[in-house]
Structure 1
């Protein structure tokens, strides 16, 4: 069970204030503090400073929104792009996996039929999960086609 003080440490943080350290989870705080420092002023050209600050700010923003489990997976990353790519691969998967998931969702969509012992709410919930899953992969189906599919999935009775 996470205490209130620990929960506060893991909640989203300000990108303009240094991260508060309450004595718990030093590695988590240390990485946030390092990024906060990097995202602030250095003595260099304006362009160098802008690039470095943007990079540091992007990393800081990404780490601020990660919980402790996700943070542990990403804490070895050294750039915002590396964090982003690792998150994308971890939670969205590779193109082959995406295509497989899309194929499975399409198969579920095509095979959707309301069972005799199933109520309309349960069937519609299942339909919504499939359609929203496809939308998540940018596979959008016209509203008219969705309505037809839903109607054809109902039993004749």
Structure 2
């Protein structure tokens, strides 16, 4: 809902909590465009983009680290399947946001290979 103050419509910008930068950015672009079409251009060159989206080198390093985490992940002792699945899903979502995807076959294969002995036939 928009409030009227001194004749200008105001609405609150989306709050950035340090995660899901791409999602926040799209919402923020829409917010700024509702105020002035060129306003996002000013913000895009700000430190937020470098800090949370990263330079190409930061992006490559993050992608490398997440890929390694994915490859070395396994079900921990005492961990239930839901927790393990959530952990894998978090890593895959982060990888996807950086452009790396895995097909369902690879994803299922990785989960099955990562199960503890207790869950294996």
> Which TM class, normalised by the smaller chain length?
0.5 to 0.7
Residue 84 in 1 paired to residue 44 in 2? yes
TM-score, normalised to structure 1, is 0.51
Aligned to 1:57: 37
Residue 99 in 1 paired to residue 89 in 2? no
Aligned to 1:5: none
CA distance in 2, matches of 1:58, 1:154: 51
CA distances 1:71-126 after superposition (whole Å, capped 9, x unpaired): xxxxxxxxx1x422334223201111111111111111011110121111111111
Q: Which runs of 5+ in 1 are unaligned?
A: 1-7, 21-34, 40-55, 63-79
Q: Give RMSD over aligned pairs.
A: 2.9
Give 1 or 2: higher strand fraction: 2
Aligned to 1:121: 82
Larger Rg: 1
Q: 1:18 aligns with which of 8, 17, 20?
A: 8
TM-score, normalised to structure 2, is 0.65
Shift of 1:142: 1.1
Q: Secondary structure at the match of 1:57?
A: coil
